[in-house]
């Protein structure tokens, strides 16, 4: 299993567009991918836009991206980079 902690950097936070981009990109990987806001116990399926929308993460929020499967390392790295680059909004 691969994991990485990332911080939401874009001004608008993790709203509909970033959630859509994130879930679409997660869907391109074979691995099971989950997102968990720092300090919470429940993992959210990263391939579920509805699940991601329930997070309501704002700028500065920290989340943990984890993946398990054949392409777990690439999945975590790609999704982390998407978050760190502000979903193309910064």
* Active-site option among 15, 25, 32, 68: 15
* Known active-site residue 10: no
CA angle (20 as vertex; 15, 24 as ends), nearest 5: 155
Strands 32-37 and 62-68, sheet pairing? antiparallel
What region does 21 belong to: left with phi over 0, alpha with psi -120 to 50, or beta? alpha
Going by the DSSP 8-state scheme, the letter that residue 30 receives in this structure is S
Return the active site residues: 15
């Amino acid at each position: 299993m691969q994991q990485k902690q990332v911080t939401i950097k874009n001004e608008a936070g993790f709203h509909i567009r970033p959630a859509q981009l994130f879930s679409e990109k997660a869907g391109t990987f074979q691995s099971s991918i989950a997102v968990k806001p720092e300090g919470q116990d429940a993992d959210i399926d990263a391939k579920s836009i509805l699940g991601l929308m329930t997070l309501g993460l704002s700028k500065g929020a920290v989340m943990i991206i984890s993946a398990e499967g054949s392409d777990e390392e690439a999945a975590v790295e790609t999704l982390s980079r998407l978050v760190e680059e502000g979903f193309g909004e910064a």
